[in-house]
Structure 1
């Protein structure tokens, strides 16, 4: 059986085909294709929702055909269609929803709206085979510490303002870097590793706040009297923000007594963050899992797998005319049937 997943929450339009079956009464999945086209905004500027949605409209045909071709299937083989219903940018979400509704209506396939954050988490669990982990979801749209309880992913800590991905993107744009900026900032930081400069550190319980850190880092860039290199500021920005997140994660591990930890989302690709979290897991005698870098960012496979869990686990799908998007759909509002 096959599911087509359609992702369009922000800068990425993606389609993926995931095959699913049962083995020893357990649902298993296999990613057959992963096709994406990423909107790149003008240098020094962020994602404009309307511009990104126009990009997605142009990318639909190529990405869709590539996904089916790579998986060696046709729409006749697809059993269910899943799409990202939120959270995300409204114009971008609407592109994916329209494509999914059109395919569902034309080919008479069940339609499943999915939560983008659930997709990140559940795909990471499928790949890592972790059983009951504490999860750190870090991306441009999320910064949250999660644990599963009572059929929902419960939030044990989150950002109080901007996300970790937004911190790097907004800082990078102040330097004139193209979005997303995380990789470039990681490279800048490596050049000045060890040259730490004090920046604001804000942890409140298990929650973190990055806005003051961002303001201070941007001011340091433009304050020539300090004579700090971009590398030193980038390194210090990473070290400070990652230490904040790691502190909150370690506190949550101590509280929940979990013996597994998983990091997912686009920022999971950052090696320095992974190093710091590994050390925290060692101190807590906890297994460390990490979503592979190639699947850490937004992709269609996460939507397909989340759709499979919804469709197979709960038998849930919607009529085409009742399909929806929700720009502010929180992950803890979704009831999940675990595999």
Structure 2
């Protein structure tokens, strides 16, 4: 039921990868979203390593209670004000997803609140739309585990193109391991900073666009080969010296050009001049710049959010979950399972006409 101010309020729990996020959001009588709290705690692995599911799941279990308490304190509300508890059903890593789902089920039972399972990708899209005000954009969803070009049609988010192997964020993260770059605050962020120091040399990497889809594994393999060559004092194919910064610059330029190409093709297909970039890689300033130039040439514009909402967070799960809850959707306790493969276009988007 709406509170005394006519608001509905949801708590959202996100933990599909290495970030545990719990946030609280309110929808007022007009449907506008208001962020009440947005707390996040990240599992950071040592340089040269990735985060394993079991270690990440342990991190989420260890920090869930304190993050939830902090979210409630920051929001300044009582448990009784909550309408529902939302959680990420997938896609994501099995262990971390399950750990957070167990936490959400516990809160639901403890507080007597209905559960709402949320698709992680739809959470990103709806949060991006709410923050930027983008009306009906083509969405580029780029993160550690997902790479998709999406457009809305007939109450579904339709996937126009996607990765055929690894996600763009995973490509960047794995190359950060190759260079033994710090994972704090994020490997992709540190690659971006190194890339800003490069640009003197643009090396040749594969360009793998296949229709509306992309492939990144071959690009990563070639970048790893060049990194090994650099360590032994070797030179580039044209006899040039190059640095880790040049490698990061080259990798970004190549894979972002691929993303711009398939996004532009989707815009032409659906007749849209808006692009919304969501997901952790969407924070990258170079990607935003390249996409913005393409959109401007088409008489359009690009929309993106900062790290508060681009990077995985509980608020996006609370927002998408509350949108679904307001249309009558709930997840029964016995059906509150998680799945690593929960596709964006499987969700019935009842809250959009």
TM-score bucket of the superposed structures, by smaller chain: over 0.9
Q: Distance in 2 between matches of 1:31 and 1:211?
A: 38
TM-score normalised by L of structure 1: 0.96
The aligned runs of 1:303-318 (5 Å cut-off) are 303-313=317-327, 315-318=328-331
Q: Which runs of 5+ in 2 are unaligned?
A: 1-7, 236-240
CA contact (8 A) 1:220 1:228 kept: no
- Partner of 2:150: helix, strand, or coil? strand
- Partner of 2:218: helix, strand, or coil? helix
Q: 1:195, CA displacement in angstroms?
A: 2.3
The aligned runs of 1:202-281 (5 Å cut-off) are 202-223=208-229, 224-226=233-235, 227-281=241-295
Counterpart pick for 1:199 among 190, 202, 205:
205
Q: Deviations over 1:253-284 (max 9, x none)?
A: 11111122111110111000000000110111
- 1:117 matches 2:121: yes
- 1:185 matches 2:191: yes
Aligned residue number for residue 176 of structure 1: 180
CA contact (8 A) 1:221 1:228 kept: no
Q: Distance in 2 between matches of 1:196 and 1:235?
A: 7
Q: 1:304, CA displacement in angstroms?
A: 0.2
CA contact (8 A) 1:40 1:178 kept: no
TM-score normalised by L of structure 2: 0.93
- Partner of 2:56: helix, strand, or coil? helix
Q: 1:333, CA displacement in angstroms?
A: 0.9
Counterpart pick for 2:133 among 129, 133, 136:
129
- Partner of 2:249: helix, strand, or coil? helix
- 1:40 matches 2:53: no
CA contact (8 A) 2:201 2:242 kept: no
CA contact (8 A) 2:48 2:181 kept: yes
Aligned residue number for residue 291 of structure 1: 305
CA contact (8 A) 2:288 2:302 kept: no
Q: Which runs of 5+ in 1 are unaligned?
A: none
- 1:330 matches 2:343: yes
Q: 1:28, CA displacement in angstroms?
A: 1.7
Counterpart pick for 2:163 among 151, 156, 159:
159
Q: Distance in 2 between matches of 1:91 and 1:254?
A: 40
- Partner of 2:32: helix, strand, or coil? strand
CA change 1:105–1:234 in 2 (3 A) is same
Q: Distance in 1 between matches of 2:302 and 2:333?
A: 41
Aligned residue number for residue 302 of structure 1: 316
Aligned residue number for residue 78 of structure 1: 82
Counterpart pick for 2:61 among 51, 57, 61:
57
Q: 1:214, CA displacement in angstroms?
A: 0.4
- Partner of 1:213: helix, strand, or coil? helix
Moved more, 224-233 or 160-169: 224-233
Q: 1:154, CA displacement in angstroms?
A: 0.4
The aligned runs of 1:9-24 (5 Å cut-off) are 9-23=16-30
Q: 1:291, CA displacement in angstroms?
A: 1.9
Q: Distance in 1 between matches of 2:276 and 2:331?
A: 31
